[in-house]
Amino acid sequence: MLFLPFFNRFYPLKKHLLLLFSCMSIFSANAQLLSVTSCEQPPYDNMTDLIKQHLAGSGIEVLSVTFGGEKKAVGFFTDGEEVIGLKRGIIMTSGQATTNFANGGIGVDESGDQFANNQNFSFATCAPLADIATDALKDVCVFQITFKPYSDSLEFSYAFASEEYPEYACSDFNDLFGFFLSGANPDGGLYDNQNIALIPNTNLPVAINNIHPYNPAQPNCTSLNTQYYFDNNNSLAQPVYDGFTSIFKAKARVIPCSTYVMTLAIADVGDAAYDSGVFLEARSFESAVEVSASFDPDVAVLPENAQADSVFLTFANLPPALLPMDVTIGGTAINGLDYLLIDSVYAVTQPNQTLGFLIQPLTDTLDEAFETVEFVVGAPGSCFYKSFTLNIADPDSLYSPVDTIVNLNGGPVVLKVASNFAANREWSFPSASGPMAIPAMNALVSPIQVNLPMDTLLDIMALKSVCINIDHDFIDDVDVYLKAPNGYILELTTDNGANGDDYVNTCFSPRATESIKGDAPFAPASASPFTGEWLPEGPWSDIAGAPVNGIWSLLVIDDNQGFSGMLNDWSISFAGDLVGRFDYNWNTGETSSSLQVSASGEYNVVVQNAVSSFTQKFVVTGEVATKDLQDNITEPLQIVPNPYTDDVVLIADHRLHVERIRVYDLNGSLVHEQSKPGRLTGAEKLARGLYSVVLTCQEGQYVQKMVKN
């Protein structure tokens, strides 16, 4: 077989001259879409966390991760949908992930007219890859992932690309990659490094010699499987490789909850020239069991005063090995006390089944913040586990079980209603340390301890903002990431602002409408100092479901050595105004949480989300006392003693015109009524527990808690 000269393997004529203009290529690459961050540096330098957050998806329990090779050969890519067909994920190469001339040369994010020819000097080995190679392996990059699948199948999406295309098709320079599975075969026996990276509907591995165009440089090298091939030779488009494949899915049948080892490997063959890469789609490594809830985390809040509809869990195509399956009701809310009693365990015995649950919250007068009702789905004796959480929230302080009476006082009044106790609250946590120098080519980590009355970031809208203040004279050098307590990373801003200065009161918020980088791949210098509210570069879903309480960290990286900078301060804030995603519908047609009225009458508002609803009534009257009197009454009702054992006395402010006094139990049921203050008649007959005492008078309505021991 005829081969091109060895010299040309390293210095091909078609690209040799282009290397003389490498500095120019840096700027042209920045105008492209694909962005790659090397795993040689934070925040993606922890290879175990990289796989757990950015490769493993639903139904994969990662037990351990081992990496072999050079970290610079691996990167995390974003914005790759128009370039390679995959939006985000991990790139493994036999060269280097990003352009770094001090480190060797051209990276994946350059265009096809550039030349990726990097020896990364990896000394790693991979026996299953070597077994199918035509020559010695060079620049090996390999992950070994030990995991358990939840379902009876697994899959992930990928694309292969290489600089070997097109001129080395049908040669021994056949760069290799493979996905090798080991573990129990459901058809009997074992998978022993079974390569599952196959061309669709064939047993052929995805490789240069199995997918390529016609190559006149090699005798009898006719085209093969070109329906899966994209030519990028001498192109101005990314990626750097001269050719790449369609998006393929690696698939295998497995036994649920058995332990498997997946080896992902790529290498040069024969020599270290002409790099190749494999793009792995983010979170596509799945073995999903089809269990879903009728509610999603964004609306999973029920106020105590809500009338809740039934919620459902749906099971579809369950593997026989997972049956029977249990659904256990748990969480911090007490079954039968915080919500009407339901069964604590349910059985799923069919592959396709739906279970319904009526969760009716019970109103009490305790300040308990969020309590959870957790539906824990599991197969006894197996590894499968999945949970769905509803939050029960205290009503807002404005809530009362009877009509709220409001007086006009000679002018308009504003009627306000809130879905729950958190609706009008915010919590802000500033960084504790003073200004900190940002080290060049390294990460500054600034921690903040968060402690809130909510456990999990189920609704990303609970995170109000992350605000930063950074001094730097070449802000393009500064990369900023948010790290959640579970170690998951959110990209806030990287390589924005060109030679501009600083981030000043720059806030990242789920409520923002514009990305920090605008519509371009990178924000220009004129955008600095980025004062205001922005969407981050990464999706908020990267940290959805993270623990709220614990250490949140800001990672600030100066990826160059030319200028120094300082992190002056940062803060993270949480808010309850949108938690639960409630809608407000007044009988007047208004849809906000407050309503200004200037006429007497009844005003009703229905407050609802996808899992609950309640109605609040306001009675507006014109028979009012003076506004000054209302403002001066600070303690309209006293309960003495409180708590009480036998007798209790109700004392109203002498200036109030009392109309009636009512007592309600924690279920909102009226248990006593009298027309004037004084001794509470029949107090000794009330059961031990919590009560709401509602004082109604011409001046308004007042609610006080009462406890009987």
Give the CA count within 13 Å in the CB-facing half-sphere of 177: 28
Top-confidence residue, 141 or 440? 141
Mean pLDDT of 128-157: 94
pLDDT in tens, 539-592: 999 999 999 999 999 999 998 877 889 999 999 999 998 899 999 999 999 999
Indicate whether 348 pLDDT > 50: yes
For 147-157, b/e burial (b = at least 16 CB within 10 A) is: bbbbbbbbbbb
Write phi, then psi, for 577 (nearest 5 degrees). -65, -30
Which of 134-138, 270-274, 509-513 holds the top average pLDDT? 509-513
Check residue 239 and give its pLDDT.
Answer: 97
What is the C-alpha separation between 255 and 649, in angstroms, rounded?
69
Indicate whether 368 pLDDT > 70: yes
Least confident range of 133-147, 160-174, 217-231, 406-420:
406-420
Check residue 404 and give its pLDDT.
Answer: 76
Indicate whether 165 pLDDT > 90: yes
Q: Quote the DSSP letter at residue 168.
A: T
Check residue 238 and give its pLDDT.
Answer: 95
Which CATH code, of 3.40.309.10, 3.40.190.10, 2.60.40.10, 3.40.720.10, is assigned to 290-393?
Answer: 2.60.40.10
Write phi, then psi, for 417 (nearest 5 degrees). -140, 140
Q: What is the DSSP string of 220-237?
A: T---BSGGGEEE-TT-SS
CB atoms inside a 10 Å sphere around CB 134: 13
On whether the CB atoms of residues 139 and 267 are closer than 8 A, the answer is yes
Q: What is the DSSP string of 267-320?
A: EEESSS-S-EEEEEETT-BB---EEEESS-GGG-EEETT-EEPEEEEEEES--G
Confidence of residue 424 (pLDDT cuts 50, 70, 90): confident
Question: Backbone dihedral region of 658: left (phi > 0), alpha (psi from -120 to 50 degrees) or beta?
Answer: beta
What is the C-alpha separation between 239 and 701, in angstroms, rounded?
68
In 3D, which of 194, 228, 193 has the Cα closest to residue 208? 228
On whether the CB atoms of residues 132 and 41 are closer than 8 A, the answer is no
The percent of residues in the chain predicted with pLDDT above 70, rounded, is: 92
pLDDT in tens, 581-639: 999 999 999 999 999 988 888 999 999 999 999 998 888 887 444 444 445 667 888 89
| Residue 478 CB contacts under 8 Å (≥ 6 apart), including other chains | 438, 470, 472, 493, 497, 503, 556, 557, 558, 559, 565
- Positive or negative CA dihedral for 76, 80, 84, 87? positive
Top-confidence residue, 461 or 702? 461
What is the C-alpha separation between 285 and 687, in angstroms, rounded?
57
Indicate whether 14 pLDDT > 70: no
Indicate whether 83 pLDDT > 90: yes
Indicate whether 63 pLDDT > 90: yes
What is the C-alpha separation between 709 and 645, in angstroms, rounded?
5
Please report, for residues 5, 141, 359, 535, the alpha-carbon distance to residue 216 in angstroms, rounded to integers and kept in the order given.
Answer: 15, 31, 71, 50
Indicate whether 7 pLDDT > 70: no
What is the number of helices (H) and of strands (E) in the chain? 6, 45
What percent of the chain is helix, strand and coil (3-state, nearest 5)?
A: 10, 40, 50
Pairing verdict, β 385-393 and 301-303: parallel
DSSP bridge pairs for 376: 328, 387
Q: What is the DSSP string of 316-334?
A: ES--GGG-SEEEEEESSSP
Indicate whether 430 pLDDT > 90: yes
Confidence of residue 458 (pLDDT cuts 50, 70, 90): confident
Check residue 669 and give its pLDDT.
Answer: 81
In 3D, which of 187, 238, 239, 242 has the Cα closest to residue 213? 242
CATH architecture of 426-575: Sandwich (2.60)
Residue 364: what residue type?
D
**What is the value of pTM for the model shown?**
0.82
On whether the CB atoms of residues 43 and 489 are closer than 8 A, the answer is yes
Check residue 5 and give its pLDDT.
Answer: 36
Q: Which two tokens stand for residue 264?
A: 């992902």
The percent of residues in the chain predicted with pLDDT above 90, rounded, is: 65
Which CATH code, of 2.60.40.3080, 2.60.260.20, 2.40.480.10, 1.10.490.10, is assigned to 625-709?
Answer: 2.60.40.3080
What is the C-alpha separation between 197 and 208, in angstroms, rounded?
13
Confidence of residue 20 (pLDDT cuts 50, 70, 90): very low
Mean pLDDT of 411-417: 85
Pairing verdict, β 307-308 and 276-281: unpaired
Check residue 30 and give its pLDDT.
Answer: 41
Mean pLDDT of 14-20: 34
Check residue 625 and give its pLDDT.
Answer: 46
For 419-438, b/e burial (b = at least 16 CB within 10 A) is: bbbbbbbebebebeeeebeb
Indicate whether 1 pLDDT > 80: no
What is the C-alpha separation between 122 and 141, in angstroms, rounded?
7
Q: Which two tokens stand for residue 646?
A: 């036998």
For 299-331, b/e burial (b = at least 16 CB within 10 A) is: bbbbbbbbebbebebebeebbeebbebebebeb
In 3D, which of 440, 502, 430 has the Cα closest to residue 466? 430
CB atoms inside a 10 Å sphere around CB 210: 17
Confidence of residue 463 (pLDDT cuts 50, 70, 90): very high
Confidence of residue 148 (pLDDT cuts 50, 70, 90): very high
pLDDT in tens, 659-677: 889 998 877 788 999 988 8
Question: What are the extents of the domains in the chain?
Answer: 14-281, 290-393, 426-575, 625-709
Tell me whether domains 290-393 and 426-575 share a fold. Answer: no
Mean pLDDT of 388-396: 90
Check residue 425 and give its pLDDT.
Answer: 87
Indicate whether 352 pLDDT > 50: yes
What is the C-alpha separation between 7 and 20, in angstroms, rounded?
18
